[in-house]
């Protein structure tokens, strides 16, 4: 159940790239969390494009943490609210680098201490703010500036870290994956999370036209294809309940997704067939494991 009120708590004039998936995510998140919210953001694109020196696009109280400690800072905010007997939604918005990599320890602590916080990771699958370096969220075989495809490499050689599973292992109240390509799904999940007491984790797939190499008009299309191929499964797990998975009628072959992005362009060569097959296998495994097919 989502409000149809056109609440916009992200002021226009911010400096996101045209077609930025993270900016779309922010609009969707802020539409449902409402004004009684305090946001803590780790260093990354979102922090950078919403808060150039002396300016802010945030229409809610907002705090910038370091790259690594948004969950620790938000824990302090939540503890202060508790001590003062005041109420507000405490929401973290952090990139995949700030979540999967450098902020993992702080996030684990926040989950374990059972803070009443909604941790939202916008996953653009690399360190975009600093020039497209690989993170542990970067998909297998994608080229980045620190996992460059070339004569002796086919891009990133490791698989994407399963952070939703790590969150679930902390026995948190709610874990969900979603995508900006499915705004109702995204808003429903954020709305549900903020209504549940305790730690929650939401991972939003946010395509990045600059880092992935596609036209800025195709951000939503890329998000859709990621889900339709099974590469990015969309699901939610409420504590004590069965996992609910967003079903896909006819899953699409992974080539359809890969062919449209420069970060996978090197896979078009014949000798890279095996790598393509590996990526298709990842999708097939997801379809099976999550029961994605309708």
Ligand X SMILES: Cc1ncc(C[n+]2csc(CCOP(=O)(O)OP(=O)(O)O)c2C)c(N)n1
Q: Which is nearer to Mg ion, 106 or 237 (CB)?
A: 106
User: Of these, 19, 31, 57, 67, which contacts ligand X (CB under 6 A)?
Assistant: 67
Q: Which does 251 bind (CB under 5 to 8 A by kind): Mg ion, ligand X, none?
A: none
User: Of these, 108, 130, 146, 284, which contacts ligand X (CB under 6 A)?
Assistant: 130
Residue 193 binding ligand X, by CB under 6 A: no
Which positions from 131 through 170 interact with ligand X, judged by CB under 6 A?
Answer: 135
C-beta atoms surrounding 120 within 10 Å:
28
Residue 255 binding ligand X, by CB under 6 A: no
Stretch that binds ligand X, among 94-102, 161-169, 175-183, 240-248 (CB under 6 A): 94-102
User: Of these, 37, 65, 69, 124, which contacts ligand X (CB under 6 A)?
Assistant: 124
Residue whose structure tokens are 């070339």: 150
Residue 97 binding ligand X, by CB under 6 A: yes
* Neighbouring residues of 86: CB distance < 8 A, sequence distance ≥ 6: none
| C-alpha torsion sign, points 195, 196, 197, 200 | negative
Q: How many chain residues touch Mg ion (CB under 5 A)?
A: 4
User: Of these, 68, 78, 173, 185, which contacts ligand X (CB under 6 A)?
Assistant: 68
Q: Which is nearer to Mg ion, 103 or 233 (CB)?
A: 103
Which positions from 119 through 178 interact with Mg ion, judged by CB under 5 A?
Answer: 124, 128
Q: Which does 98 bind (CB under 5 to 8 A by kind): ligand X, Mg ion, none?
A: ligand X
* Residue facing Mg ion at closest CB distance: 95
Q: Beta partners for 37? A: 89
Contacts to ligand X by CB under 6 A: 43-46, 67-68, 95-98, 124, 127-130, 135
């Amino acid at each position: 159940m989502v409000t149809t009120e056109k609440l916009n708590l992200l002021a226009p004039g911010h400096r996101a790239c045209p077609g930025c998936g993270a900016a779309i995510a922010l609009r969707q998140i802020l539409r449902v969390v409402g004004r009684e919210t305090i946001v803590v953001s780790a260093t990354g694109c979102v922090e950078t494009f919403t808060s150039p020196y002396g300016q802010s696009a945030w229409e809610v109280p907002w705090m910038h943490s370091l790259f690594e400690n948004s969950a620790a800072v938000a824990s302090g905010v939540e503890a202060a609210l508790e001590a003062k007997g005041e109420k507000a939604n405490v929401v973290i918005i952090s990139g995949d680098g700030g979540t999967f990599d450098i902020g993992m320890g702080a996030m684990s602590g926040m989950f374990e201490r059972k803070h009443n916080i909604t941790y939202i990771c916008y996953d653009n699958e690399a360190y975009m703010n600093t020039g497209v370096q690989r993170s542990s969220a970067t998909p297998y075989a994608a080229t980045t500036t620190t996992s460059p495809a070339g004569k002796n490499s086919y891009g990133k050689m490791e698989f994407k870290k399963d952070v939703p599973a790590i969150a679930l292992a902390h026995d948190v109240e709610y874990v969900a994956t979603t995508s900006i390509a499915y705004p109702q799904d995204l808003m429903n999940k954020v709305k549900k999370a903020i209504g549940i007491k305790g730690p929650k984790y939401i991972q939003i797939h946010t395509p990045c036209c600059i880092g992935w190499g596609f036209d800025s008009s195709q951000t939503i299309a890329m998000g859709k294809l990621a889900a339709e191929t099974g590469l990015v499964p969309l699901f939610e797990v409420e504590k004590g309940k069965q996992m609910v998975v967003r079903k896909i009628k006819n899953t699409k072959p992974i080539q359809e997704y890969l062919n449209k992005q420069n970060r996978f362009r090197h896979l078009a060569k014949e000798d890279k067939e095996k790598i393509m097959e590996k990526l298709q296998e990842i999708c097939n495994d997801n379809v099976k494991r999550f029961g994605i097919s309708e």
